[in-house]
């Protein structure tokens, strides 16, 4: 795994601090969640991360990530390939309770500059890169913040990224988090991806 510039047929992973570039609401909620989780597990609180991908193919660069809430109904303009419910399927009729999976050609990753350690190239395999982009619209649209599939962890943006990486054939167990950090939902995606 390297950290140099992009190549056609490569996958780059970003570890972005939870709530980076936002209003502080997500960051505050994340800190409260992690403080309670750490107290229950009798450990010190860790930094929380949101993950996103950039995939380079001959036709261009794709930004692959999950965002919540959906800002408006113009989903085509930001490469939305799938939407899923937040908290409850009954609430998903309102945009505030929908997340979107983006696979956005020439898209924007606004918090890329905040990523700890910068980009991490996790693959230079053109077949894996192509497979990942093709899989983006097939991610399970599970309820964000719930453990519907019984993995022991909630489904969220990290679940999407780890699911895609695992299904694309990458050795996800070899991808290391930044020191002193945690990505809630990561294991949920890996477990779900390995099921038939």
pLDDT digits (tens, 9 = 90+) for 81-116: 999 999 999 988 898 899 999 999 999 988 888 899
Residue 2 lies in a domain: no
Residue 4 lies in a domain: no
Residue 88 lies in a domain: yes
Low-confidence ranges of the chain (pLDDT < 70): 1-6, 21-27, 34
Residue 74 lies in a domain: yes
Residue 28 lies in a domain: yes
Residue 52 lies in a domain: yes
Quote the pLDDT of residue 132: 98
Within 10 Å of residue 43's Cβ, how many Cβ atoms? 9
Residue 3 lies in a domain: no
Written as one string, the DSSP assignment of 21-74 is TS-SHHHHHHHHHHHHHHHHHTS---EEEEEEEEEEETTEEEEEEEESS---S-
Where in the sequence is the domain holding 106, given as residue range(s)?
10-194
Residue 188 lies in a domain: yes
Question: 178 is written with which tokens?
Answer: 């930044």
> How many domains does one find in the chain?
1
Report residue 45 CA to chain centroid gap: 21
Quote the pLDDT of residue 3: 44
């Amino acid at each position: 795994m390297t950290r140099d510039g992009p190549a056609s047929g490569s996958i780059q992973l970003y570890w972005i601090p939870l709530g980076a570039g936002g209003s502080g609401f997500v960051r505050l909620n994340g800190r409260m969640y992690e403080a309670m989780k750490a107290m229950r597990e009798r450990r010190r609180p860790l930094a929380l991360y949101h993950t996103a991908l950039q995939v380079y193919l001959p036709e261009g660069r794709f930004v692959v990530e999950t965002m919540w809430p959906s800002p408006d109904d113009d989903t085509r303009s930001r490469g939305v390939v799938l939407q899923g419910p937040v908290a409850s399927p009954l609430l998903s009729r309102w945009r505030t309770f929908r997340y979107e999976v983006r696979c956005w050609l020439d898209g924007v990753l606004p918090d890329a500059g905040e990523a700890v350690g910068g980009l991490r190239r996790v693959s230079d395999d053109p077949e894996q890169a192509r497979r990942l982009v093709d899989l983006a619209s097939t991610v399970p649209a599970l309820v964000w913040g719930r453990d519907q599939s019984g993995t022991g962890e909630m489904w969220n943006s990290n679940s999407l990224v780890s699911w895609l990486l695992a299904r694309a054939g990458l050795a996800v167990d070899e991808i290391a988090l930044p020191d002193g950090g945690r990505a809630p939902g990561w294991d949920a995606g890996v477990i779900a991806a390995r099921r038939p």
